[in-house]
Amino acid sequence: MGKTADILTGFPKTWILDYGAKVTVRPMAKEDRDKLADFFKRIPEGDLRFLKDDVTDMRVIDQWVRDLNYDRVLPLVVEADGRIIADGSLHRRKEGWRRHLASVRVVVDVAHRHKGLASRLIDELADIAMKEGIERLYTELPTDDRAAIEVFQKRGFKQVARFDRNLLDHTGKYHDLAVYHLDLATRR
């Protein structure tokens, strides 16, 4: 497995999106606290149930920026005009029997959806994971998160399991959970 410095090689990066916009992609930093809070405030109420953590709680964001450890969680943020417009993260443990795995999560600002941002973030995180010797990526999604399921399936992820009433959202409603895998050796 590589060292943190290797993971960060090449960042910040500039992406030119299909429609010509120029955005910056870089690892999350401590200084992003307020920008992140602002980003998550703009996520519609209806989408909050698709997110594992309560991102409306400032303590959650404070903990993320305080405990930054790129070897454990590598969060990439996409910035445009000084605002965060997307966040994608790679989660792993370097020790133990899951050391060959990493999970991926992604959120995109409503105003910047359907422009391929989530797909590019997943690809970027998969490239990093491959360089780090990770063998398999996985993601856990509520079965009613159609947008995310489409995105991950388009990147080659396959559903491998489904768990009944496995998620309890912030409104107290239960959802089924599906697990999707992408074996990096078979990645197109």
Ligand X SMILES: CC(C)(COP(=O)(O)OP(=O)(O)OC[C@H]1O[C@@H](n2cnc3c(N)ncnc32)[C@H](O)[C@@H]1OP(=O)(O)O)[C@@H](O)C(=O)NCCC(=O)NCCS
Q: Which residues bind ligand X (CB under 6 A)?
A: 47, 50, 105-108, 113-119, 139, 141, 145-148, 150-151, 154
What is d(CA 36, CA 78) in angstroms, rounded to the nearest whole number?
11
Nearest approach, Cβ of 6 to ligand X (angstroms)? Answer: 25
Pairing of strands 158-168, 101-108: unpaired
Nearest approach, Cβ of 5 to ligand X (angstroms)? Answer: 27
Nearest approach, Cβ of 86 to ligand X (angstroms)? Answer: 7
Q: Which two tokens stand for residue 48?
A: 């909050």
By the 8 A CB rule, do 104 and 88 touch?
Answer: yes
DSSP 115: S
Q: What is the separation, in whole angstroms, between the first and last Cα of the chain?
A: 22
The residue among 131 and 154 lying less far from ligand X, judged by its C-beta, is: 154
The residue among 134 and 152 lying less far from ligand X, judged by its C-beta, is: 152
The residue among 6 and 150 lying less far from ligand X, judged by its C-beta, is: 150
Nearest approach, Cβ of 74 to ligand X (angstroms)? Answer: 15
The residue among 37 and 141 lying less far from ligand X, judged by its C-beta, is: 141
Residue 107 phi, psi dihedral angles, 5° rounding: -140, 135
